[in-house]
Amino acid sequence: MEYNDIYDEPQGSVLRGAIGAVIGALLGAVVWALVGMLGYIASVVGFVIAFLASKGYDLLKGRPGAPKLVILIICVILAVIVGNLGVAAYQVHQVYVEEGYAAYVTESKFFELMFPVLFEDGDFIGALAKDSAMGLLFAVLGCFGLLKQTVSKKKPEPAPAQPEQQDSFESAVRPDNHLE
């Protein structure tokens, strides 16, 4: 691809944009986890994840276009998965508190013991995969418009050329400018 004008060249850094998008998506994952802890899955949170990832990408001056779209999609997927893992960690914490394991083992040791066991359990993995798939569906519904807008953004058209104006002094002293 050949660029005729410096304004046609893509500006920004994909790496900086990706870092911003990951930070925004992680903030969105926290929101996803908090809503999930309340027992809900909401497509509006998918929009929030995509919005925060997009804002992070733009704030760190990421390159617009196809790279942004790919990075946002990856960030939304990862944020939903991280958010669901946060919900699972909360549920394990609830078991620790409600079942009285605090009298026998520290919470960090409980997590250390429970997570390997849970990730070997097919039912747990199946439930986590189902929740993540449903979460991704809701996230896609929530952020579809934002992602579509990212693809369809057109570069701004240049302003029409203004006729050059002469200064008043130059027009006053020009010989062809005389009163009749």
Evaluate whether residue 108 is within a structural domain. Answer: yes
Which tops the pLDDT comparison, 146 or 179? 146
Predicted pLDDT at 11: 80
Length of the chain counted residue by residue: 180
Provide the 8-state DSSP code for 177.
-
Question: Tokens 């979460």 map to which residue?
Answer: 135
Domain of residue 45, residue span: 14-154
85, part of any domain: yes
Residue 63 belongs to some domain of the structure = yes
Tell me, yes or no, whether 40 lies in a domain.
yes
CB-CB contact of 68 with 62 (8 Å):
yes
Q: Is the CB of residue 116 less than 8 Å from the CB of residue 24?
A: no
Give tens-digit pLDDT for 135-165.
888 888 878 877 778 777 655 555 565 655 5
Q: Domain total for the chain?
A: 1
pTM: 0.73
In a domain? residue 4: no
Residue 84 lies in a domain: yes
Position 52 in a domain: yes
Residue 110 lies in a domain: yes
